[in-house]
Amino acid sequence: MSNATELDWRQLADPERLLAWMDRQGLGEGPLENVLQLTGGTQNLLLRFERAGRGYVLRRPPLHPRMDGNAIMQREIRVLGALADTDVPHPRLIAGCLDPEVIGCMFYLMEPIDGFNASVGMPALHAGDPAVRHRMGLAIAEGAAALGRVDLAAVGLSDFGKTEGFLERQVPRWLKQLDSYREYAGWPGPDSLGDVKGIAGWLTEHRPTSFQPGLMHGDYHIANVMYRNDSPELAAIVDWELCTAGDPLIDVGWLMATWDGVSASSRVQPWHGFPTPQELVEHYAKFTTRDLSHLKWYAVLACFKLGLILEGSHARACAGKAPKDIGDRLHATTQALLARASGWIDSPNAMRV
């Protein structure tokens, strides 16, 4: 019935309670069939199953979430519902359950996605043709542009995030997080990472004075999209737990920071054929009316933010609270990200469109 043990998936969703809820929603008849716990996603859990010949994917928080799993589900249900009539490729929401009594937490059902995650592996069509991989890169840039075109008011998300002072909050927030790592014994400190102070100063001095609020994914990189099996086009943008109303150019910067062998893209093989970061931003520019004159700032900020987040695992590893091999690997990734940021700062033509 499942690749996981029966106890495993029943712990995630009591079948009798789930079936009773689905009955009330008019979602099929009969038992759950072909239940499979899906991999993917760093926090939230996925169950795929069929009922009365229709496929479903159930998404729920982990059994022991670090944050408020119900609040995250509530936000994802809201944003996926809001995207229904847009051109943003996304998992199609079937129904959401805001009653935690049904299976022990809020959850939702979505349509299964016919596609693959390139960071896990690629079909022969994509792995065997550099031209196909080049188009895959352009498609992810178009996905970011589509998300940035969403009209918050039109889809009912005007209150989805605090946009006032959004850019001003960024550098102080992540510096504060970096400083919090000092509580971990053995952490060598920020001087081991690169020019943290110089990058922070540059970001503060060159921060855009205004931006056009919009919907942002919050973790937009190649491991968080799925591609069609039969073409290089996007099947869906996935993992929406960090989505908020903010500055969509943050997503573009995040894509730049994680591209071309750094972080998420380092798991994609073969990489040859994918566009360069500069090609991505030039293609993005064709599909947006946003002011891209400060795009380098967003790319540098993304390197800075992601690097300081990842360094937390190294700090915990130094204190024996996380595996040393993971801590060392993420420390090296942070160093690479900050080196990339410094290189872009020093390059007058970086990210120009």
Of 213, 212, 207, 221, residue with least CA distance to 252:
221
pLDDT at 97: 97
For each of the domains in the chain, give its residue range(s) and CATH number, in order of start: 9-112 (3.30.200.20), 116-346 (3.90.1200.10)
pLDDT at 4: 45
Of 347, 317, 343, residue with least CA distance to 332:
317
Reported pTM: 0.91
81 contacts: CB under 8 Å, gap ≥ 6 = 93, 96
Q: Which two tokens stand for residue 25?
A: 């929603």
- Residue 228 pLDDT more than 90? yes
Bridge partners of 227, per DSSP, are 116, 234
pLDDT at 3: 43
Give 184-236 as a DSSP string.
STT---GGGTS-HHHHHHHHHHH--S----EEE-SS-SGGGEEEETTSSSEEE
- Residue 113 pLDDT more than 90? yes
Strands 244-246 vs 214-216: parallel, antiparallel or unpaired: antiparallel
Minimum mean pLDDT range among 48-62, 200-214, 265-279: 265-279
DSSP state of 273: T
Whole-angstrom Cα distance, residue 325 to residue 314? 9
The phi-psi region of residue 218 (left if phi > 0; otherwise alpha if psi is between -120 and 50; otherwise beta) is: left
- Residue 261 pLDDT more than 90? no
- Residue 40 pLDDT more than 80? no
Residue 210: pLDDT band with limits 50, 70, 90: very high
pLDDT at 263: 64
- Residue 273 pLDDT more than 50? yes
Residue 63: pLDDT band with limits 50, 70, 90: confident
Cβ–Cβ under 8 Å, residues 304 and 203:
yes
Q: Which two tokens stand for residue 216?
A: 């942002």
- Residue 331 pLDDT more than 60? yes
Output the CA torsion sign for 93, 94, 98, 99.
Answer: negative
With both helix axes pointing from N to C terminus, report the angle between 324-346 and 249-257 in degrees, rounded to the nearest 10: 110
Alpha helices for the chain (secondary structure H):
6-12, 15-25, 69-82, 124-127, 130-148, 166-180, 196-206, 249-257, 277-285, 295-318, 324-346
Q: What is the mean pLDDT of the segment spanning 314-318?
A: 96
- Residue 6 pLDDT more than 60? no
Write the pLDDT tens digit of every residue in 150-175: 999 999 999 998 999 999 999 999 99
pLDDT at 60: 93
Q: Which amino acid is at 339?
A: A
Q: What is the mean pLDDT of the segment spanning 28-45?
A: 83
Q: What is the mean pLDDT of the segment spanning 283-298?
A: 96
Whole-angstrom Cα distance, residue 200 to residue 315? 20
pLDDT at 265: 58
Residue 230: pLDDT band with limits 50, 70, 90: very high
Cβ–Cβ under 8 Å, residues 199 and 300:
yes
CA-based end-to-end distance of the chain? 52
Average pLDDT, the chain: 92
DSSP state of 90: -
Cβ–Cβ under 8 Å, residues 60 and 79:
no
Q: Which two tokens stand for residue 146?
A: 């589509």
Write the pLDDT tens digit of every residue in 97-111: 999 999 999 999 999
pLDDT at 348: 87
Which range has the top average pLDDT, 43-52, 136-145, 272-281?
136-145
